[in-house]
Amino acid sequence: MMFVKRSNQCLCTVLSIIITMASIVNPIKSYSQTNYSVKMPEEASTILQTPVLEHRIAIEQVKNPYWHEKHGQNNEVRIFWDRDIWDRNLREWASYGYNGIFYYVEPWQETQWPDLLIRSEEFPEAKCLTQAQSEQMIEHMKWIFKRSHELGMKNYLFTYQIVTTPAFARAHGMNKDMPESDTVDWRHNMKNAMGAQYGVRNELTRAYTEAAIAELFQIYDELDVAIRRFYRGYRVQECLQ
């Protein structure tokens, strides 16, 4: 597991985070953005009086509205932009005792945060959105992260180890099958899922990844951590950079 987190110092802290999947998902075993509202159990007031994990994290899906619009899923688009829905869900997570939100870009096999959350200023060939779409998305996500902080919850964003964008892959000739190796993951050659923008490790993708992560934290002052992966029951080393 890797944390990428803003800090002015470089140090490592060992955190004891004993996490089961139940501790980071909806207590009724469904995503709030799927059901549009978190349902509070009747015994919630009793639960809040009992000890909780130091890190109690809920999942919210960041459903790419432009992907859903392209695929005719207009209700998902409406829900994503509806701040009343986001506000209700975030308030209910906070009232239930959660102190973090884990944001997961969907559909995860076709789109990731580099497609959606940054302007790709250093690598403009990676842009997947128009300027107007990009600014609309950034403003909306800034509001969500800010609202989460106002409610006492940290913001965690899921990220893959190596992922660019479909536009970047096309621009640099990576939108083709490549032999699997230490530098090309098998997922790069998948059809109708993942594919060209996934799993190619070279100096160019390294430079892109560094620039994308730097830009991500420059844009979102209230994004706390980018998380590569959750594991169950691990002691996690967190590096602050």
Please, are residues 184 and 201 in contact by the beta-carbon 8 Å criterion?
yes
What are the sequence ranges of the domains in the chain?
Answer: 3-240
DSSP 106: E
Rounded Cα–Cα distance for residues 218 and 220 (Å): 6
Residue 233 confidence (pLDDT): 35
Cα–Cα distance measured from residue 103 to residue 141, given in angstroms and rounded to the nearest whole number = 10
Question: What pLDDT sits at residue 228?
Answer: 61
Chunked into runs of 10 residues, the chain (241 residues) has average pLDDT values of 44 31 40 47 48 79 93 94 96 93 86 91 95 97 97 91 88 90 85 81 92 94 76 35 31
The set of residues, in sequence order, having a beta carbon less than 8 Å from that of 158 and lying 6+ positions away, is: 102, 103, 104, 105, 108, 113, 226, 227, 228
Q: In what order do the strands lie in the sheet with 100-106?
A: 11-16, 235-240, 3-5, 225-227, 154-158, 100-106, 57-63
Position 134 scores a pLDDT of: 96
Alpha-carbon distances, residue 120 vs 141, 168, 175 (angstroms): 16, 10, 19
Going by C-beta distance under 8 Å and a sequence separation of 6 or more, which residues neighbour residue 221? none
Q: Are 6 and 219 in contact (CB under 8 A)?
A: no
